[in-house]
Chains A and B, each alone.
Chain A
């Protein structure tokens, strides 16, 4: 099948995203994340101590964000096979994936710009940190759209040998649910709902990374073996895929 290497590349991009995103966070010394309760001077000290780490982290995370695209595109292609010609779920997946790219890219660019001049006024550095961390953690809806559209598609797959197990559909719903508590971070500077808290950060980050890893593994398993006969197209399947 022509697209086999492409499928393998797309499926593996979830691994790349996790390595680069969490690698970037570690390089920036943001695992565990800084607390929203830190004073402007404490925040400024972090940039002074580790400007190059934050710059490197921003670059790593920027490229990590790019890998949301091939993964989302491969999922969308699978969804389109399930849905056939009329495929709103596939479009939700594509747009959600684009939103996910934005959700990671925007805060990372701000982190990079903040670390570009670490000797700036501490108040301004704190403002940029807020501008980065708040959207970075709160921006779950694109990922929720991706997870829910993939989950609905898996559970509605009526083909004889579906490429994905049904538990993956339910797992997608659960992941979407776990991204929800993060929206509370606007109301807290300490505790489990703060942007560095158990429920807003650790649960959401674990499930976000876990979602990409599990999707990657399951998409790899769904790649047809080399030399396999191409799938017989159903009458409704779209030929432009």
Chain B
């Protein structure tokens, strides 16, 4: 099989002229994965912190957990996953001559803003009900870790807003394609981190 044929077999239609000829290639760019894996390693420490603290006082954790609003968390999980789906299709349809890619990223943007609005609503509800970071360890970690995640999401929202603009170009350059892929990877990371954080805080029994 020639290199070109191997290229055609690839499932994602994002050719990278600078990529290796054997058709195996790292999405986005190599260096970005230093940040992605590093960031996920730090979140792994966060997750460990939650579990260790929970292990020290499970009854306090269970009692405090009941005051969260799991439905808001479930809706937010659905929003992030839907956003990821739009991102996947947005990357696939990039540069196909239609405005589809740009519109798909715009839909991701709607999901991101929806997530942020619901998160802020939940913070407001909790504070109104008298639960703040000072209440106990559970709420401290809840606010700190979901807050750090929300900061990641805000950065992701800004990146996706750029993707909407870049994807609107009829013929994106190789550099722009790379940028779109990097942005998509970052979005998926924000999604993935929530998929662990959500059950650890809301669901674990």
Q: Could you tell me which A residues sit within 8 Å of B by CB distance?
A: 165-171, 173-174, 177-178, 180-181, 184, 187, 191-193, 198-199, 203
Complex CA distance for A212 and B39, rounded to whole angstroms: 19
Pick the contact of B34 from A171, A191, A203 — CB < 8 Å? A171
Which residues B101-136 have CB closer than 8 A to chain A?
A: 133
Complex CA distance for A177 and B144, rounded to whole angstroms: 15
Check if A187 sits within 8 Å of B49, measured CB to CB: no
Check if B42 sits within 8 Å of A198, measured CB to CB: no
B29 contacts the other chain (Cβ, under 8 Å)?
A: yes
Count of B interface residues, CB-CB < 8 Å: 19
Known contacts A169-B31, A170-B31; is-contact A177 B137 (Cβ 8 Å): no
Complex CA distance for A167 and B38, rounded to whole angstroms: 12
Contacts of B42 in A (CB 8 A): 177-178, 203
Interface SS of chain B: helix, strand, loop or mixed?
Answer: helix
Check if A174 sits within 8 Å of B39, measured CB to CB: yes
Contacts of B34 in A (CB 8 A): 167, 170-171, 174
Contacts of A165 in B (CB 8 A): 31
Which residues B27-62 have CB closer than 8 A to chain A?
A: 29-35, 38-39, 42, 45-46, 49, 53
Check if A199 sits within 8 Å of B35, measured CB to CB: no
Which chain A residue shows the least CB distance to B50? A192
Pick the contact of B144 from A166, A170, A184 — CB < 8 Å? A184
Contacts of A192 in B (CB 8 A): 45, 49
Check if B45 sits within 8 Å of A199, measured CB to CB: yes
Contacts of B137 in A (CB 8 A): 191
Which chain A residue shows the least CB distance to B46? A199
Which chain B residue shows the least CB distance to A184? B144
Complex CA distance for A83 and B133, rounded to whole angstroms: 43
Closest 3 CB pairs of A and B: A167-B31, A174-B38, A166-B31
